[in-house]
Amino acid sequence: MSSGTSDHQRRRDMVMTGIGDGVALFASAPETIRTHDSEHPYRQNTDFYYLTGFDEPQSVLILAPSHPEIRSCLFVRRKDKQQEIWNGQRLGLKEAKRLSGVDAAYPIEELDQRIDSFLETGDLLYYAFDADKSLNDQVVARLMRYRRSRARSGRGPRGVLDPGPLVHELRLRKSPADVVGMKRAVDVSAEGHLAAMRYARPGMREYEIEAIVEYVFTSRGAQSPAYPSIVASGANLTTIHYSTNRERVPNGSLVLVDAGAEVDYYCGDLTRTFPISGTFSPEQRAIYEIVLASNLKAIETCKPGKTFNADVNDAAARVLVDGLLHLGLLAGSAQEHLEKETHKRFTIHRIGHWLGMDTHDVGSYRVNGDWRPLEPGMVVTIEPGLYIPAEPDIDERFRGIAVRIEDDVLITPSGHDVLSARLAKSIPDVEEVIAQGRASGSALFA
């Protein structure tokens, strides 16, 4: 459940240094209804988990660096035999305190009576208002009361700040323990993709391939996909966030699989595109080679000091535009297309995003208005794509072809480490994995 008390303690200490005279309140994720009276599987708020390692709902973490005795405390659900028979074990106060290493743990029912003693130690309150409504309302009511009483009492925070930037700057730079977690999530994700290449067969529906990928995720220890898996073929290939996954894969189509496993709160995010026939057609190959060259160029550019959204993004875009010009899908000057972003008709999105305990991970992409340089410990996705619309002015041979190739890359002091390096990517390697899967003759569920 947790990567160890010392990690969480260290993270809380850093946040407390950041808030200085303030006080911070972090809430667990609300439980959410899926339909009628059944709930979505519970997933802890990532900041809360990052600071506690505690994954139960109805919990609150308070950090009060100016408190004389209790600088950190958790409010959690008490143990309850009846409830636990229905809904699973609760850790209870003692275990929650031990697991997270906070100074004190109290029953959540006592939050109301105890919260003032912590809030009043702070000049400013750090709170994200991302809890359920009742806690948000409780915080607002308290702030209103302090506003009325402060003239006489001199107590209570004078304002509220988002704790996000403090915590998210920490989360952006992965610790050695984070890197171990990331590697595991990316490994499991890669296994799922390899299985898709091996076991997808002509005539399958997209959801059958989705099931193969997610079967492997779960059987390797993932709690969940990190985001809705995309298995797109045929006319769906050019829909970036297609996740309906209901169609039969047309003969000769590419299959674009964008899927990642979430393992112990770390997310993988990988995309591979492969031919259901087992062999890329000349046109599919032409598009694929451009995207692959762009992916490799972007990865080569990843190193400390380079900016992700300028240096890396622009290097990759340049390769895509040159390729489109070469194929005659664009005409004119590369420079002009890059400046006016007229290539967006085919490239749609930028090069990637931060990756971590959230798929689109937290952390600012800019510092003082400028794109920020990469630093060791950051993890990014590198995911160039080309999406050729099936429109009348487009060379018929290329209509509807789409390719995205997405890797997960750790920035290291000397450059980068491609966490997904083991996942087949070149055309010969992808065709080889498919061929081996078909030669073995077996289906995954035979």
Task: Name the residues that contact Mg ion, by CB under 5 A.
Answer: 258, 269, 381, 406
- Residue 130: active-site member: no
What distance in Å separates the CA atoms of residue 220 and residue 1, rounded to the nearest whole number?
Answer: 16
128/382 with CB nearer Mg ion = 382
**DSSP assigned state of 110:** G
226/329 with CB nearer Mg ion = 226
15/418 with CB nearer Mg ion = 418
What distance in Å separates the CA atoms of residue 374 and residue 368, rounded to the nearest whole number?
Answer: 15
Q: Which of 8, 77, 404, 416 is catalytic?
A: 404
258/361 with CB nearer Mg ion = 258
Q: Minimal distance in Å, beta carbon 155 to Mg ion?
A: 46
Which tokens in the block code for residue 125? 């309150």
- Residue 241: active-site member: yes
Q: Minimal distance in Å, beta carbon 83 to Mg ion?
A: 38
- Residue 103: active-site member: no
Q: Which of 34, 37, 152, 339 is catalytic?
A: 37
- Residue 397: active-site member: no
- Residue 375: active-site member: no
What distance in Å separates the CA atoms of residue 274 and residue 241, rounded to the nearest whole number?
Answer: 18
- Residue 36: active-site member: no
Q: Which of 178, 208, 262, 406 is catalytic?
A: 406
Q: Minimal distance in Å, beta carbon 383 to Mg ion?
A: 5
55/258 with CB nearer Mg ion = 258
Q: Which of 168, 343, 353, 416 is catalytic?
A: 353
- Residue 37: active-site member: yes
What distance in Å separates the CA atoms of residue 346 and residue 376, rounded to the nearest whole number?
Answer: 32
- Residue 193: active-site member: no
Sole residue written with tokens 């779960």: 218
3-class DSSP assignment, residue 247: coil
- Residue 404: active-site member: yes
Interhelix angle 206-219/176-199, rounded to 10 degrees, is 140
428 touches 273 (CB < 8 A): no
What distance in Å separates the CA atoms of residue 363 and residue 52, rounded to the nearest whole number?
Answer: 19
178/258 with CB nearer Mg ion = 258
Q: Which of 387, 407, 408, 416 is catalytic?
A: 387
> Dihedral of CA 79/83/85/91: which sign?
negative
Question: Phi and psi at residue 58, in whole multiples of 5°?
Answer: 55, 45
Q: Minimal distance in Å, beta carbon 279 to Mg ion?
A: 25
Q: Which of 191, 208, 214, 269 is catalytic?
A: 269
Beta bridge partners of 262: 224, 267
- Residue 406: active-site member: yes
- Spatial neighbors of 312 by CB under 8 A, at least 6 apart, are 298, 301, 302, 306, 351, 374, 380, 382
Q: Minimal distance in Å, beta carbon 43 to Mg ion?
A: 18
Q: Minimal distance in Å, beta carbon 381 to Mg ion?
A: 4
**Known catalytic residues?**
37, 241, 258, 269, 349, 353, 360, 383, 387, 404, 406
